[in-house]
Structure 1
Amino acid sequence: MSDSILDTASAFILREGRLLERRLFATLFQAAPATGVVDALRGYRNEDGGFGHGLEPDKRCPESLPIDVEVAFQTLSTAGVPGTDPMVSHACDWLATVAAPDGAVPLSLPVMEAYPRAVHWSDWTYAPGLNPTAGLAGLLHGMGVEHPWLTRATDWCWSALEKGFPDDAHAMSETLVFLEHVPDRDRAERLAERVGEWLPQLKWYRSDPADPEYGVSPLHLAPHPDSRWRRLFSDDVIEGHLDRLAADQRPDGGWAITWEPPGAAATLEYRGVETLRALQVLGAYGRVPSS
């Protein structure tokens, strides 16, 4: 059964996925070099050092946006590309140009309004916040990056978190990336002790594997068994979500999405993204073979 999941999902990615997901799949599951991922990612890079062109498929804006920079960092980190790649420092330089004076950045910018986008990509995404600043900073710390903007952003994240955790599961997911990788471990662990009691209060948190609605699940927060946050969830909860994730594979081999992208191409692109994410999680937990 696990081989069938992998075989049909890989066929979906090959048939319907973007070049980026195809190259990343080859790196993760077929031991291909990460250079192919880097080359594919360059197509989304702008001359200003940022990333755009719908790298996050729900908006088709070609201009650089912080969310697309975050997806670029996630992709590089997943592929095992070192933080010394020049694309990383150049993207940090760009983030510094759009950050608030304290270092915080928003998810997107008003330039996005000139292009097709999903309805949830609206003006709320223009406010700097933990989503995405904490996620960006955490990814960069995980890759061993040093940069003046990262220093400012890290200080801002500490200040924001010590006032209280966010009330949204998306922002908490970004926060957990920060707390998992930020170098000041004592400070991070003091905050980490409070995460478990905070999770049930979060908007968009989906703790029940049977819940069909959109949400952030434990497998988003602990996508592999070595995650710092795996200990927050019982074995039964994790196994239930793994069962649900495997069962959600569609007859065409891919995974569906529970929101409305701006068009058919974006829908297929995001299905490719989600299919690869599902395979990574199922592979990490031993439900499908991995490279």
Structure 2
Amino acid sequence: MAETGASPLPAIPPPAIPPPATSRAPDSRSPLARAEHFVWLTARVLEQRLFAYHFRGGDPGPVETALDAYRNEDSGYGHALEPDLRGPASQPLHTARALRILDAVGRCGGQRVERVCRYLTSVSTPDGALPLIREGGEAGPAAPFVPVVADPPGELLATGPVVGLLHRNAVWHAWLFRATDFCWQAAESLGSSHPYEVEAAVAFLDTAPDRPRAQAAADRLGRLVRERRLAVLDPDDADAYPVSPGYAPGEHHFPHDYARDPRSLARAWFTDDEMARSLDFLAAEQEGDGGWPVRRRRPAPAPALEARAGVTIEALRTLRAYGRPLG
């Protein structure tokens, strides 16, 4: 029992709260703060770690750790890493997304990527390319625009971004030789195409080793995009531009979708005014909950929500790459 009349305990000041990782917290009304709220409220751990890396000075290690949860014993990736593909099985599109994440955090190299290249070799078609999706007993449900077919062909859509990433990171593997030849042939012969395929061609051409050849191929693609009206150049009149077959209503592409970085070869396809309007449109797309929308078809609520976090991070990265203020 305490003694009667004992002196009260001296007041102890509360411990100091450590400062945030950045020098100043963003304004609560800023695009970055709104996006951060959305990410912490809805995103998977992987996208939370990616957001922290890109915008809060986070370490790449936790990103790699989160990504490991999607890796299979064959060194491919599955488990709905690409939200539109469900199920545990390794798929080329999941693995391509894993490589993009590793590239984004500066970890696209070493034995991990060597093992990924062995997986890519094992799933390639006879012409050395990657199919969009492989059928198999563990293949889960997929979005309608990613059909599961027997003996699928190699696709530039799946192969181009992977080959481009490996070249950018100076990764050399036997698989790359035939895959690079496939990408050259496909990119240089595109005649009737659609926006996502053009995006894949740009991802390859931006880092292809033969720069004059890449420049010539990109110039031709830029003319194709403008002639076929595959980019909305006036966001205020988007309905005047055609939607590619199989796309969702209103699933348009804009200049910033092709040139996500001003150093891209696709940047030369558009005037400064066209790019400025495109970026204005991108900034204005941020929704009330802080996230950016997914313009493609939504096969189910969960994949759509999972995809929005990645789309939101990419929108912020694009705006930052062009010097747009985020807060």
How does the TM-score come out when normalised to structure 2? Answer: 0.82
Structure 1 residue aligned with 2:153: 127
- Matches of residues 68-83 of structure 1 in structure 2 within 5 Å? 68-83=94-109
After TM superposition, give the deviation of residue 272 of structure 1 in Å: 0.7
Cα deviation, 1:213-261, whole Å, max 9, x if unaligned, reads 1133211211122223212211111111111111111111111223343
Q: Which of 185, 188, 191 is the equivalent residue of 2:214? A: 188
After TM superposition, give the deviation of residue 81 of structure 1 in Å: 1.8
Structure 2 residue aligned with 1:279: 316
3-state SS of paired residue (2:30): helix
Structure 2 residue aligned with 1:11: 37
Structure 2 residue aligned with 1:264: 301
Counterpart Cα distance in 1 of 2:283 and 2:293: 12
Structure 2 residue aligned with 1:89: 114
Counterpart Cα distance in 1 of 2:141 and 2:188: 37
Matched, 1:55 2:92: no
3-state SS of paired residue (2:265): coil
* Distance change (3 Å), C-alpha of 1:274 and 1:91: same
After TM superposition, give the deviation of residue 203 of structure 1 in Å: 7.8
Counterpart Cα distance in 2 of 1:115 and 1:128: 20
* Partners of 1:21 and 1:273 within 8 A in 2: yes
After TM superposition, give the deviation of residue 201 of structure 1 in Å: 4.4
Structure 2 residue aligned with 1:109: 134
Structure 2 residue aligned with 1:198: 224
* Partners of 1:170 and 1:204 within 8 A in 2: no
Matched, 1:141 2:178: no
Structure 2 residue aligned with 1:248: 285
After TM superposition, give the deviation of residue 2 of structure 1 in Å: 10
> What number of residue pairs does the alignment pair up?
289
- Matches of residues 164-183 of structure 1 in structure 2 within 5 Å? 164-165=190-191, 167-183=193-209
Structure 1 residue aligned with 2:11: none
Structure 1 residue aligned with 2:4: none
* Distance change (3 Å), C-alpha of 1:77 and 1:112: farther
Higher RCO (CA < 8 A, seq sep 6+) = 1
3-state SS of paired residue (1:39): helix
Unaligned runs of 5+ in 2: 1-26, 240-249
* Partners of 1:95 and 1:149 within 8 A in 2: yes
Larger Rg: 2
Amino acid at match of 1:91: V
Report sequence identity in percent.
38
Amino acid at match of 1:142: R
Counterpart Cα distance in 2 of 1:267 and 1:283: 24
